[in-house]
Structure 1
Amino acid sequence: MRGYLDRIRLKMRVINALFIRELMARFGHSNLGFLWQVLEPLVLALGVMASWSLIYGERNHGVRVIPLVLTGYTYLTLWRHMTARLSNSFRQASGLLFHRSVKPIDILIARGMLESIGVLMAFFAAYIPLALLGIIDPVDDYLVLLGAWALICFLTFGVALIITGVTHLSETIERFVQPVMYLILPLTGVFYMVYWLPPAAREVVVLSPLVQACEMYRAGLFGHAMPTFWDPWYILLWGIGANAIGWVLVLKAQKHIEME
């Protein structure tokens, strides 16, 4: 038992060291550093919020536009950044594998943690001043909001593992990843609320765990003011499945990593 705990502590130290290294490698020791990890999605989200407000006004289908865009765009930012950062990990950080304690999955976990924390901080960096100004209503249920974010990160990490594995095993598949990512954007739910849709379309889109995760995330912010459709167990089961498949693919792909 003691040896098992020692291995867990070692693994945690390795991931923490990789997290700090990734932070320093990406943002450096000077200038804005990690703050840019927060500012980058924040600036983009504020730009989209301003554009949507000009187009739709204060509300769209009875929903305030700014919180709708804020939740949707932070979700979309995590989805895009997580999959993009992880898919290139083996090529960019293969030299780290010369260290006996470092495994490929450790690099992926460290990068996933950085994206998850950074985008969540960007959400609150935008939410707090907007809430203080009365532009956004206070969060209705932090437990639901943060629980949804944990499920979103878990599910997105699993999808990113799958993409990482298959793209490393096949360059042909890699060329189709970005087009497919754009094609499945309607299945993320970031641009709409499910209750806006006709009943027939609603029954289809709620089959997507990405849509349900987005609905749960918004439920934490809006509460019962807006109808939402989500089941945390459904999202969790999809996340477990995605991570299990991704883990197998990563284990297979790591045998083909070329050391630099």
Structure 2
Amino acid sequence: MSQTLDTPRTPAPAQAPLDAAALAALHGLSVSNARPSLPQYVRQLWARRHFITAFATAKLTAQYSQAKLGQLWQVMTPLLNAAVYYLIFGLLLGTSRGIDDFVPFLVTGVFVFTFTQSSVMAGTRAVSGNLGLVRALHFPRASLPIALCLQQLQQLLFSMAALAVILFCFGVPPTWSWFLVVPALALQFAFNTGLALVMARLGSKTPDLAQLMPFVMRTWMYASGVMFSIKQVLPEHGVPQFAKVLLECNPAAVYIDLVRYALIDSFDAGQLPYGVGAMWALALGWAVALCVGGFIYFWKAEETYGRG
């Protein structure tokens, strides 16, 4: 019998394995935390506006939930700070000389600066202090610093109600100019939000920044005319012109001066370092620059937040 031998088959060439990007494209997959375009990011934030407001309200309610006096501390904390500053600067150091209605002047400065200070401090910890939420859920991370600034705005409303009572008790009657507080604080809120977004990105990479910021904010407060009038103090100390401009254009001082101008009759246009129109232009410029610039700066690192 003849034996039939099978002809050996040539093995098919091996296919190169697809890399992760090719496999994702083949199956229509995309990176879950990829940074969206700027217009799409804005739309995502708007879609989550109810979450932002609810988160802000919840944080405000829980802030003093363990204290016996509860939400009363929202007003007592800035009032006690103002009392301490009045004792040290008004009575001991005599910065009240030459300033009419010094108590309303001081309390207004403390309340307005505290708004910026609290927003910046909260923004610094917005991402690093909520890593569990950031890693568990997919949402635009800018929601966190914006919500925390909104929380500080809600707290400021309690302080402004107390400020109105203080003004009345010290003989400062309500006038139509009080309505100018609304646009002034709205511009300050935009400025605070932009600065909080910047600090949130920096704080997410450097958590130790939160330990440094109290010293930075305290220095900023002393340079913002909270306890004294910048316009009256500068000529007495022979401050160089460039430092004078920096102090007078300091955004915290600008917003404080505008609120004082709106609320206190004795704080007229002559107390402002520049004209009323120029002060409003400075306030608007700072608000737009920080709000837009800070938002873009935060958005550019969107995909990095929450990573190890």
Query: Taking structure 2 as the reference length, what is the TM-score of the superposition?
Result: 0.69
Other-structure match for 2:290: 242
Alignment partner for residue 190 of structure 1, among 218, 226, 230? 226
Cα distance per residue 1:148-179 (max 9 Å; x no partner): 22222221222222122123234576665444
1:149 alignment counterpart: 185
Does the CA contact (< 8 Å) of 1:67 and 1:136 recur in 2?
Answer: no
1:116-149 CA distance string (max 9 Å, x none): 2212321321431x3443x241244112223222
| Structure 1 residues 183 and 131, CA gap change in structure 2 (3 angstroms) | closer
Task: Give the letter for the 1:42 counterpart.
Answer: L
Partner of 1:85: 122
Matched, 1:220 2:262: yes
Q: How far apart in 1 are the matches of 2:52 and 2:197?
A: 16
Which protein shows a greater Rg? 2
Residue equivalent to 1:115? 152
* Cα deviations by residue, 1:55-89 (Å, 9 ceiling, x for unpaired): 36795213222012101111221222111111111
Q: CA deviation at 1:202?
A: 4.7
What is the rounded CA distance, in whole Å, between the counterparts of 1:183 and 1:30 in structure 2?
30
Query: Which deviations, in whole Å up to 9, do the C-alpha atoms of 1:214-236 show, x marking residues without a partner?
Result: 21111012246532235212211
2:86 to 36, 43, 49: 49
- Note if contact 2:124-2:210 (Cα within 8 Å) is conserved in structure 1: no
Deviation at 1:18, TM superposition (A): 0.9
Q: Deviations over 1:172-191 (max 9, x none)?
A: 76665444434433442323
Q: 1:199-222 CA deviation, whole Å, 9 max, x = no partner? A: 946544323233222211110122
Given that residues 78 and 111 in structure 2 are in contact (C-alpha distance below 8 angstroms), is that contact kept between their aligned partners in structure 1? yes
**Structure 1 portions without partners, runs of 5+:** 1-5
Identify the range of structure 1 (137-146 vs 201-210) with the bigger mean alpha-carbon deviation: 201-210
Q: Residues 255 and 206 from structure 1, CA distance in 2 versus in 1: closer, same or farther, beyond 3 angstroms?
A: same
Distance 1:205 1:73 in 2: 17
Q: Distance in 1 between matches of 2:294 and 2:44?
A: 23
Structure having the higher helix fraction is 1
Is 1:138 the equivalent of 2:173?
yes
For 1:214 and 1:131, the matched residues in 2 are separated by 15
Q: Give the secondary structure class of the aligned counterpart of 1:86.
A: helix
The aligned counterpart of 1:3 is none
**How far off its partner does 1:36 sit?**
2.5
Q: Structure 1's 35 and 107: CA in aligned 2 closer, same or farther, altered over 3 A?
A: farther
CA pair 225-108 structure 1, distance change in 2 beyond 3 A: closer
Task: Please say which of residues 210-219 and 52-61 is displaced more in the overlay.
Answer: 52-61
Structure 1 residues 187 and 253: CA distance shift in structure 2, 3 A: farther
**Pairing 1:17–2:54 present:** yes
Q: Give the distance between the partners of 2:140 and 2:153, measured in 1 at CA.
A: 20
- Output the CA distance in 2 between the equivalents of 1:142 and 1:16: 26
Decide whether aligned partners of structure 1 residues 37 and 48 sit closer, same or farther in structure 2, where only a CA change above 3 A counts.
same
Q: Percent identity?
A: 19
Please list every run of 5 or more consecutive structure 2 residues that lacks an aligned counterpart in the other structure: 1-42
Cα displacement (A) at 1:112: 0.6
Q: Partner letter of residue 181 of structure 1? A: M
Q: Name the SS for the 1:103 alignment partner.
A: coil
More displaced stretch, 75-84 vs 165-174 = 165-174
Give the alignment partner of residue 65 of structure 2, picking from 19, 25, 28: 28
1:210 aligns with 2:245: no
| Residues paired across the two proteins, number | 252
Which one-letter code corresponds to 1:75 in the other structure? V
CA distance in 1 between partners of 2:167 and 2:211 (Å)? 42
Flag the 1:45–1:127 CA change in 2: closer, same or farther, 3 A.
farther
